[in-house]
């Protein structure tokens, strides 16, 4: 009713309600390179298209005369009642969309009480986002790095920042073949940082310090502060062109720090050697629930259960990693069947509105992650844009539920749909 009342009072929305119009508005709001990064997928973007086509193969089958005047959108997830079945999927380098980046997203998520998965590649340290969210739900998404010391540190910080769960993303141990980014001369360090979790981390600072010291014959022990690290990355990004704007930058220029910082980051960023056996380490680092994101095959879902995970996120990273790959919605039922209700199964990749969320739930998802739509809202209108986009998903979902003749999420099931 908030959406309709605003409309009837002649208040125009801050961001377009229609997804196509939203995407076009986002394209106008940011640089060509930034839009390539936000919107692009792997290869010929066939997986991206498949994600959408999979939704088109299912149709909601409405029922009538069922008193839907009271509707309950809530679900239970990880032992907590949640107001809606939505979450915000992790989006790294959000500064490409808006300077307030993750903090703006956190504020919007908190305002709507929708859990937010803080990205490992965030543009703002998780502690800042946590502060902006107060007591509202956030989870931390981990990219398992080659340094277990660093992994443990991120996880400890997530716990201290009030994150309710650790979500390990497993589909990005190598960066996908991102054609639009390649055409835009993709260089993460020239286009935005997404390294705030690293530059704010004491273990990362120590790794950089050790590297500098080793390079200097083991004698020098530079003091590596978060400001200095951030400056080092800026310098490495901009080459020698950076004006000397502050002491940190000058100090970084005088030292081999920029190089050491970049090399350390590249060394630790990913760990393609990771296997199932490594997951047990997480249990030593934290008591928080552990979820795996990027699971598509039922056999992997079964392995995940064998390794005691607390939840699965069925996702193909929005079609950004493997092209010509299985659509996320198509992978869902196989995973759901194998999991057999033992842990929650969250779906993302291709969700563009409330009706899509309804279909995902009917195909067996416990909850649904929003990705690109909210980051487009961020690009167009900052925190307000994110809030409107997410609110629109909730509003459309509420209407779809009622118009389909359902009173609660629990009533959504296989019978709510037919194959197109
Ligand atoms: C992502 N995604 C992502 N996933 C993750 O685990 N960590 C990350 O840092 C990022 N970063 C990221 C950046 C951008 C610009 C996009 C679009 C996506 C994947 C994300 O969490 C989610 O799986 C997809 O966005 C879902 O697909 P759709 O709905 O956006 O198509």
Q: What is the pLDDT of residues 356-370, one digit of tens each?
A: 999 999 999 999 999
How high is the ipTM of this complex? 1.00
State if residue 349 touches ligand 1 by the CB under 6 angstroms criterion: yes
From CA 312, how far away is CA 318, in angstroms rounded?
A: 16
150: its two tokens: 């660093």
Q: Which numbered atom of ligand 1 lies nearest the CA of 51?
A: 31
Q: pLDDT of the chain along its 420 residues, tens only?
A: 888 888 888 889 999 999 999 999 999 999 888 999 999 999 999 999 999 999 999 999 999 999 999 999 999 999 999 999 999 999 999 999 999 999 999 999 999 999 999 999 999 999 999 999 999 999 999 999 999 999 999 999 999 999 999 999 999 988 888 898 877 755 544 555 788 999 899 999 999 888 888 876 555 566 778 887 877 777 666 653 444 444 544 555 556 777 788 788 888 888 999 999 999 999 999 999 999 999 999 999 999 999 999 999 999 999 999 999 999 999 999 999 999 999 999 999 999 999 999 999 999 999 999 999 999 999 999 999 999 999 999 999 999 999 999 999 999 999 999 999
* Candidate from 30, 139, 181, 317 with most ligand 1 atoms within 8 A of CB, to mutate: 317
From 98, 173, 317, 406, active-site residue: 317
Ligand 1 centre distance from Cα of residue 199 (Å): 22
Q: Where in the chain is the domain with CATH 3.20.20.70?
A: 2-175+270-419
CA distances from 186 to 43, 84, 196 (A): 14, 37, 19
Going by their DSSP bridges, the two strands 417-419 and 58-60 should be labelled as: antiparallel
Ligand 1 centre distance from Cα of residue 296 (Å): 15
CATH 3.20.20.70 for domain 2-175+270-419, yes or no, is: yes
Contact predicate 316/89, CB 8 Å: no
From CA 401, how far away is CA 73, in angstroms rounded?
A: 9
Q: What is the dihedral of CA 124, 128, 134, 137, to 10 degrees?
A: 40
Q: Which numbered atom of ligand 1 lies nearest the CA of 167?
A: 6
DSSP string, 28-60: HHS-HHHHHHHH--BTTSHHHHHHHHHHHTEEE
Neighbours of 243 (CB within 10 A): 7
Q: Which numbered atom of ligand 1 lies nearest the CA of 372?
A: 30
Contact predicate 232/189, CB 8 Å: no
Ligand 1 centre distance from Cα of residue 128 (Å): 21
**Has 348 been labeled as part of a binding site?**
yes
**Has 169 been labeled as part of a binding site?**
yes
State if residue 121 touches ligand 1 by the CB under 6 angstroms criterion: yes
Which residue pairs from 332-336 have beta carbons closer than 8 angstroms and sit at least 24 positions apart in sequence?
332/360, 332/363, 332/364, 332/365, 333/363, 333/364, 334/297, 334/298, 334/301, 335/295, 335/296, 335/297, 335/298, 335/301, 336/363, 336/364, 336/365
Q: Where are the beta strands (DSSP E) in 96-193?
A: 116-118, 138-142, 166-169
Task: Please tell me the pTM assigned to this model.
Answer: 0.94
**Has 28 been labeled as part of a binding site?**
no
Question: CA angle, 131 as apex, 98 and 112 as ends, to 5°?
Answer: 70
Confirm whether 98 is a catalytic residue. no
Give the DSSP H or E segment for 257. Answer: helix 257-268
Instruction: Tell me how long the chain is.
Output: 420
State if residue 169 touches ligand 1 by the CB under 6 angstroms criterion: yes
The residue whose CA is least distant from atom 1 of ligand 1 is 91
Q: What pLDDT is stored for residue 118 in this prediction?
A: 98
The residue whose CA is least distant from atom 5 of ligand 1 is 90
State if residue 141 touches ligand 1 by the CB under 6 angstroms criterion: yes
């Amino acid at each position: 009713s908030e959406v309709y009342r605003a409309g009837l009072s002649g208040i125009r929305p801050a961001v377009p309600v229609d997804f196509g119009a939203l995407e076009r508005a986002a394209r106008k709001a940011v640089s060509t390179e930034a839009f390539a990064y936000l919107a692009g997928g792997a290869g010929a973007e066939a997986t991206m298209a498949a994600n959408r086509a999979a939704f088109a193969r299912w149709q909601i089958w409405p029922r009538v005369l069922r008193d839907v005047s009271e509707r309950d959108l809530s679900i239970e997830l990880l032992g907590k009642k949640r107001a809606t079945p939505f979450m915000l999927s992790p989006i790294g380098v959000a500064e490409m969309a808006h300077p307030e980046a993750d903090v703006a997203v956190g504020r919007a998520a908190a305002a709507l009480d929708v859990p937010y998965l803080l990205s490992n590649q965030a543009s703002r340290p998780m502690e800042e986002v946590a502060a902006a969210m107060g007591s509202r739900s956030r989870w931390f998404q981990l990219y398992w790095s080659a340094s277990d010391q660093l992994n443990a540190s991120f996880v400890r910080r997530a716990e201290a920042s009030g994150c309710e769960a650790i979500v390990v993303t497993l589909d990005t141990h190598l960066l996908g073949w991102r054609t639009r980014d390649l055409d835009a001369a993709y260089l993460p360090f020239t286009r935005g940082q997404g390294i705030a979790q690293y530059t704010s981390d004491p273990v990362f600072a120590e790794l950089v310090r050790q590297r500098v010291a080793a390079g200097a014959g083991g004698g020098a022990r530079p003091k590596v502060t978060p400001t200095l690290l951030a400056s080092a990355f800026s310098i490495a990004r901009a080459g020698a062109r950076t004006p000397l704007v502050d002491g940190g930058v000058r100090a970084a220029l005088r030292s081999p720090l920029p190089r050491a910082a970049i090399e350390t980051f590249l060394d630790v960023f990913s760990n393609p050697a990771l296997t199932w056996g490594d997951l047990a380490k997480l249990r030593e680092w934290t008591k928080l629930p552990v979820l795996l994101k990027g699971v598509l095959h039922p056999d992997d879902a079964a392995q995940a259960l064998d390794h005691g995970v607390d939840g699965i996120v069925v996702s193909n990273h929005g079609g950004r990693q493997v092209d010509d790959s299985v659509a996320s919605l198509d992978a869902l039922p196989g995973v759901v069947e194998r999991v057999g209700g033992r842990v929650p199964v969250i779906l993302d990749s291709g969700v563009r509105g409330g009706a899509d969320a309804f279909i995902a739930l009917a195909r067996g998802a416990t909850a649904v992650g929003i990705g690109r739509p909210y980051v487009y809202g961020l690009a167009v209108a900052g925190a307000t844009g994110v809030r409107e986009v997410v609110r629109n998903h909730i509003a459309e979902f509420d209407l779809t539920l009622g118009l389909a003749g359902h009173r609660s999420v629990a009533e959504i099931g296989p019978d709510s749909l037919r194959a197109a």
